[in-house]
Amino acid sequence: MDLYYLDELAARIKVNRDKIARLRQELADLNARMRDKAIDQEFARLIGYQQEDEDVESIRARINSEIDALEETVKNDMEAFINGLASSELIIPIDPHPIIDEHSTTNSSIGRGKIIYKYRDGAIFTNFVGMFSLIFNNCSVKDIIFTPEYVLVNAKDEREARYRFVNSIREMQRMLVKKANAIALSVEQHVKR
């Protein structure tokens, strides 16, 4: 399990959530058209004019069926994302040699600075960071911040950064294991809005 896979899952979740939103809008538009059409049909009936009726219920059923299928896919992908993030097999492909922001470490009043671990091979994880942010309401967990291009660790030196990185990931995973169902339901409710 690695960030590449989680980034793909997050992208698929985003695409499917967008499809759900479009289908819900299509359903709302269909319902609005049907209210207008009901008046037109009543008018046509009153004046003795026969109007062909399209099969609105089958269109509505098709849209609802698509929404249900996409919601199930999003739910399953969210569970896979959370399980992958909580997995002891998780691999975060960062360069083992960080960039140390000397200016922030020497001028910091608390003695901590910014240690930056870039993702290997110039990888960018925009979708992962977006989904991570949705789950945690921001991109940080304890002493680390995920960005699409790198992981930032608040520490005074490389040794402390490694310690804080490992502890932050462990803490995140423990929290995910305990609250996986609640998180999945919370994100699912966010998706349905």
Mean pLDDT, consecutive 10-residue stretches, the chain (193 aa), reads 92 96 92 75 75 71 94 93 92 92 52 85 94 84 92 92 94 84 60 54
- Res 110: pLDDT: 45
CA distances from 23 to 34, 64, 116 (A): 16, 8, 41
Alpha-carbon gap, residue 117 to 126, rounded angstroms: 16
- Res 191: pLDDT: 52
Task: Compute the Cα dihedral for 59, 63, 66, 68 and give only its sign.
Answer: negative
- The DSSP 8-state label assigned to residue 120 in this structure reads G
Q: Shortest CA distance to 17 belongs to which of 182, 145, 193, 168?
A: 193
- Res 43: pLDDT: 77
- Res 101: pLDDT: 73
- Res 6: pLDDT: 95
- Res 190: pLDDT: 56
- Res 60: pLDDT: 86
Q: Shortest CA distance to 124 belongs to which of 147, 148, 140?
A: 148
